Chain A
Amino acid sequence: MNDESVIRLENVGTRLGEQLIHRDVSLSVNRGEILGVVGKSGSGKTTLLREMIGLQAPTEGHVYLFGQCLDTLNSGQLAALHQRCGILFQSGALFSAFNVFDNIAFPLRESHFVDESLVRQLVCMKLGMVGLDRDAALRLPAELSGGMVKRAALARALALEPELLVLDEPTSGLDPLASEDFIKLLSTLHQELGFTLVMVTHDLDVMRDLCHVLAVLADGRLLAYGSAAEVRNSGEPLVREFFHGEYAERVFANAPVVAA
């Protein structure tokens, strides 16, 4: 088995009752790589993401996370693997009863191996990493703007120094400027911390600027898998429709801002 692969899917398929979500999806993500899962709404992107980190079991095939097959793990082993993953949910999923500071401190406090004074220092460090100030730290999630919610949720996802960061539509609901800032932030943090990044996205700018590898889901299948250039050259009509629309041509005509 390839030691470098963080996530490996083997012929994964999912059915919800009679409805086929996707079938026969095989891919692998190497350490330090950035994978973008792309597709229309309802093509099962988020389902695939949940299956990658074991929040949901696929109906067919196998998922390997950090080289371990998820089918064979008990809940304790799975929890240990989850401690090595950071997850950013689409709407942030910050605990609404805690302020931002306590939200970021929560995973550190729960893991019980850090004392309180270090927790407070580390939370401040994470706040600095994602560009939030002390004023924002004391606010409740309901009092934050969309961009700040994403940043706070990112800081919480990074709290346990994850080797794998999973993002569900990181730029959805952000204005173009905030979205660009967030992509830059992710890119800086990726260079700095060297984590593996898997994300679901609709955002062509994100695909161009950030992703090393794209996986295009449509029609219940993995239609194309490779770098942005390779995917754009794919002959599949559904893929061409997505990557050669008027807007897509304009996006990809510009040179990537962040070199891969």
Chain B
Amino acid sequence: MSSQPQFADMESPAIRVERTADGFITIKLTGHWTLRGVAQHAHRLQRELREYTSDPEVHWNLNTISALDSVGAFVLWRATEGRRPQHLVVRPEHVPLFRRWADRQVPQEPAKKATHLDIVNPAARVGRLAIEHVRGLLSMLGQFVLDGLWLLRHPGSTPWRDISATIYQAGVKALGITALVGFLIGVVVSYLSSLELKSFGAGNFIVAIVGIGILRELGPMLTAVLVAGRSGSAMAAQLGVMRVTQELDALSAMGISQSLRLVLPKIVALIVVMPLLVVWSDILAMLGAMFAARATLGIGLWRFVDAFPHAVPLANFWLGVGKGAVFGALVALIACHFGLRIKPDTESLAVETTSAVVSAITLAIIADALFAIVFRNVGLP
């Protein structure tokens, strides 16, 4: 938006000094003493006015001003340092503008809040934050287990509708994107591996390499990243907006447990739906791999399928599905943790939603590394 041009026709504020024959000085103010008129020259005007405000004999004539608003009045008032000149002529309609400042002080400019930037010991800050998050996540996990146990004794209160809604949102609606990404990754991995294997004349190993790679690692990891980005952010933002609109308070006030109605359904739904999504993206990725293998190595689809059970131990499939469930729980847990930390302002909403996605993906990768170590003797030929 252009700001100044539309005021170009305005007469700028000016100070005219006139000396009468008997030696008195009369100051006449002319032009627009308004926000737009004064803004550019406020400091110069105040400086010029101050030369005269100290002299009580000066006559002030404000009748000639074309326009005055509270900013203009304020600049004049500041220049006189709060003292009303003895000889002052003001138009009656401008009097109220000055009256405000006659008996009142302008609030002082607030001192900048001392920011607690702990330069000396940033490690302590990071440590405190980490402890806070770990404690928050553990207590949320604990509450989830307690809620689960409670539901075993009161199965009637299970929030089935919330669980199924989340399954639909996070699972069914994610089928398209997981299929597309899975298929393409399958093609890429298989194609690049084929080229390398071909140069060694070891084309038959493609089934084992791609099969184990996808079922064990890529399928679950890929799905976790996609679900964290899609549903993790949505869950965190949803809880945050519920805080902003006081829906969380409304739930508490009705005596309804937030953890039971908001957190538990999300965790349960992702534990259920993530393994299914993993299977789905496994299938699509293997299809992609088969097409790429046929194109580069000439391995027919049926030969690929026939060789699959011998090349890839079944344990890899179950390991991938199990990982899916764990990643799902992690994503939901972290999304809810960060979502409930959101304070009712837009800044915090942005920060915590970002943290939710980034942390979910990071923790999923860390968990994946742990899986790799713990199950190093399982499912590998």
Query: What residues make up the interface of A, taking CB atoms closer than 8 Å to B?
Result: 76, 79-80, 95-97, 101, 110-115, 117-118, 120-122, 124-125, 127-129, 132-135, 137-138, 140-142, 160-161, 191-194
Q: Which residue of A lies closest to B97 (CB)?
A: A192
**A125 contacts B70, C-beta separation under 8 Å:** yes
Write the nearest CB–CB distance from B10 to chain A, whole angstroms: 12
**A161 contacts B1, C-beta separation under 8 Å:** no
Please report the C-alpha to C-alpha distance between residue A44 and residue B3 in the assembled complex, in whole angstroms: 33
**B2 contacts A127, C-beta separation under 8 Å:** no
The stretch that binds A, out of B193-201, B309-317, B338-346, is B338-346
Give every chain A residue within 8 A of B34 (Cβ-Cβ).
161
Give every chain B residue within 8 A of A111 (Cβ-Cβ).
3
**A118 contacts B346, C-beta separation under 8 Å:** no
Task: Let me know if B108 is at the binding interface, CB within 8 A.
Answer: yes
**B346 contacts A96, C-beta separation under 8 Å:** yes
- Which residue of B70, B93, B110 contacts A129 across the interface (Cβ within 8 Å)? B70
Q: Which residue of A lies closest to B36 (CB)?
A: A113
**B108 contacts A113, C-beta separation under 8 Å:** no
Please report the C-alpha to C-alpha distance between residue A127 and residue B74 in the assembled complex, in whole angstroms: 13
**A112 contacts B3, C-beta separation under 8 Å:** yes
**B2 contacts A76, C-beta separation under 8 Å:** yes
Please report the C-alpha to C-alpha distance between residue A135 and residue B107 in the assembled complex, in whole angstroms: 10
**A128 contacts B97, C-beta separation under 8 Å:** no
**A97 contacts B347, C-beta separation under 8 Å:** yes
**B100 contacts A120, C-beta separation under 8 Å:** no
**B40 contacts A113, C-beta separation under 8 Å:** yes
Write the nearest CB–CB distance from B350 to chain A, whole angstroms: 9
Write the nearest CB–CB distance from A95 to chain B, whole angstroms: 8
Please report the C-alpha to C-alpha distance between residue A138 and residue B115 in the assembled complex, in whole angstroms: 12
Give every chain B residue within 8 A of A191 (Cβ-Cβ).
96
Give every chain A residue within 8 A of B345 (Cβ-Cβ).
96-97, 140-142
Write the nearest CB–CB distance from A133 to chain B, whole angstroms: 6
Write the nearest CB–CB distance from B208 to chain A, whole angstroms: 54
Give every chain B residue within 8 A of A96 (Cβ-Cβ).
344-347
Query: What residues make up the interface of B, taking CB atoms closer than 8 Å to A?
Result: 1-4, 6, 34-36, 39-40, 42-43, 69-71, 74, 78, 93, 96-97, 99-100, 104-110, 113, 343-347
Q: Which residue of A lies closest to B6 (CB)?
A: A80
**B70 contacts A161, C-beta separation under 8 Å:** yes
**B70 contacts A193, C-beta separation under 8 Å:** yes
**B108 contacts A134, C-beta separation under 8 Å:** yes
**B106 contacts A76, C-beta separation under 8 Å:** no
Please report the C-alpha to C-alpha distance between residue A251 and residue B366 in the assembled complex, in whole angstroms: 69
Give every chain B residue within 8 A of A125 (Cβ-Cβ).
70-71, 74, 106
Write the nearest CB–CB distance from A81 to chain B, whole angstroms: 10
From B69, B97, B110, B113, name the one whose CB has the most chain A CB atoms within 10 angstroms. B110
Write the nearest CB–CB distance from B173 to chain A, whole angstroms: 29
Write the nearest CB–CB distance from B12 to chain A, whole angstroms: 12
Pick the 4 closest A-B CB pairs, nearest first.
A96-B345, A97-B347, A134-B110, A161-B35
- Which residue of A97, A132, A160, A193 contacts B346 across the interface (Cβ within 8 Å)? A97
Can you list 13 contacts pairing A with B, beta carbon distance less than 8 Å?
A76-B1, A76-B2, A97-B345, A113-B40, A118-B39, A122-B74, A124-B106, A124-B108, A125-B71, A129-B70, A142-B344, A161-B69, A192-B99
Q: Which residue of B lies closest to A127 (CB)?
A: B107
Q: Which residue of B lies closest to A82 (CB)?
A: B1
**A128 contacts B107, C-beta separation under 8 Å:** yes
**B39 contacts A129, C-beta separation under 8 Å:** no
**A134 contacts B35, C-beta separation under 8 Å:** no
Please report the C-alpha to C-alpha distance between residue A193 and residue B113 in the assembled complex, in whole angstroms: 32
Q: Which residue of A lies closest to B113 (CB)?
A: A138
Given A129-B70, A161-B69, A191-B96; A113-B113 close (CB under 8 Å): no
**B70 contacts A113, C-beta separation under 8 Å:** no
Give every chain A residue within 8 A of B39 (Cβ-Cβ).
113-115, 118
**B110 contacts A101, C-beta separation under 8 Å:** yes
